Amino acid sequence: MMRLLRLLGLVPVLIGAAVVVIAGDRASEAELKLCGFAKGLLGKLGFAQSFINLPDACFFGAPTWAPYAAAAGCIVAGILWLYWPEQRADAARLRIAGPRLHQYPPHKTHTTHFCRMRIHNRGPAIAHNVQIRLVNIVPRPRHASWAADYPYPVARAGHPIEAPGCELSRGADVLFQVASAWKNSRGQFLAGLDTKSGFHNPTPIEPDERWEMTYEVTADNAKPLKFLLEMLVQGEAVAMKRKS
């Protein structure tokens, strides 16, 4: 059925091509030729000629280039229809929302700031094996503890990092905890990004550092998406902001 609908794009292409052929390469003669052709066609359809009476000048004051522009529009529209990417019935479309920032424990001097991102499935199918990974940080964190062993998996909120990707129904959402940061008792700012170490290897971030972190959202049956987060020290805390 979809293939038959796709072939309908040939109709405007053929109509546009026919208009160009009939009008010819002289714009001054296009009106005479096209109106004459239309009158002849109506003459073969007796019932149509009884209530449609075309004059010899049927452009009604339109510029001579108008039929060529209309023909070009028909051809372009038909080609777009023919080659427009199909949305598979078994495909999902993901959308990114956030960040959602919170801290725990709240209203404390020494607290951890968390950054979460919401992934929404716009359908039409269930999204399989939805995951987020940290794929790059620019510039590279200065501290030697950062191994830059990309990609780093990101855990769903409330789930261990070892948990597999999730299934996401049409219209459903899931939260991922993409980053965390805190200030320790020695006044050092730390970021929890190294998920491969089980968060036992926090990465120091200096007050003059500013990281742009690239994350990738994937599913087995959806187009991958990317978003950027910026991490930097602001005052007495580490701030996390979305850039795209």
Number of domains in the chain: 2
Token pair, residue 56, equals 């010899």
Q: Is 56 found in the same domain as 159?
A: no
Q: Is 223 found in the same domain as 138?
A: yes
Asked if residue 212 lies in contact with residue 138, where contact means CB atoms within 8 angstroms, the answer is yes
Give the Cα separation of 187 and 218 in Å (integer). Answer: 37
Sign of the CA dihedral with 60 first, then 63, 68, and 72 last: negative
Give the Cα separation of 146 and 138 in Å (integer). Answer: 12
Q: Report the interhelical angle of 66-83 vs 10-23 (nearest 10°).
A: 160
| Predicted pLDDT of residue 88 | 65
For the chain, the first-to-last Cα distance in angstroms comes to: 38
Q: Is 52 found in the same domain as 70?
A: yes
Peptide linkage before 99 cis (omega within 30 of 0): yes
Token pair, residue 168, equals 């996401």
66: burial class by Cβ within 10 Å (0-12, 13-18, 19+)?
middle
Write the single-letter amino acid at 38.
A
| Predicted pLDDT of residue 180 | 93
Give the Cα separation of 140 and 147 in Å (integer). Answer: 10
Give the DSSP letter of residue 243: -
**Domain end point (choices 83, 114, 133):** 83
Asked if residue 121 lies in contact with residue 172, where contact means CB atoms within 8 angstroms, the answer is yes
56 bridge partner residues: none
| Predicted pLDDT of residue 40 | 75
Give the Cα separation of 132 and 115 in Å (integer). Answer: 13
Per-residue 3-state assignment (H helix, E strand, C coil) for 165-229: CEEECCCCEEEEEEEEEEECCCCCEEEECCHHHCCCCCEECCCCCEEEEEEEEEECCEEEEEEEE
Q: Is 55 found in the same domain as 161?
A: no
Q: Is 148 found in the same domain as 222?
A: yes
Q: Is 39 found in the same domain as 128?
A: no
| Predicted pLDDT of residue 222 | 95
3-class state of residue 61 by DSSP: coil
Q: Is 179 found in the same domain as 66?
A: no
Question: Domain range spanning residue 215?
Answer: 92-242
Q: Is 214 found in the same domain as 131?
A: yes
| Predicted pLDDT of residue 2 | 52
Tell me the pLDDT of the chain (244 aa) as tens digits. 556 666 777 888 888 888 888 888 888 778 788 877 877 776 666 655 555 666 667 777 788 888 889 889 989 998 888 777 665 678 999 999 999 998 887 766 678 999 999 999 998 999 999 999 999 999 999 999 999 999 999 999 999 989 999 999 999 999 999 999 999 988 999 999 999 886 678 999 999 999 999 999 999 999 999 999 999 999 888 999 999 8
Write the single-letter amino acid at 62.
A
Q: Which of 178, 177, 174 minimizes the C-alpha distance to 127?
A: 174
Give the Cα separation of 120 and 173 in Å (integer). Answer: 4
The domain spanning residue 112 has which CATH number? 2.60.40.10
Q: Is 210 found in the same domain as 127?
A: yes
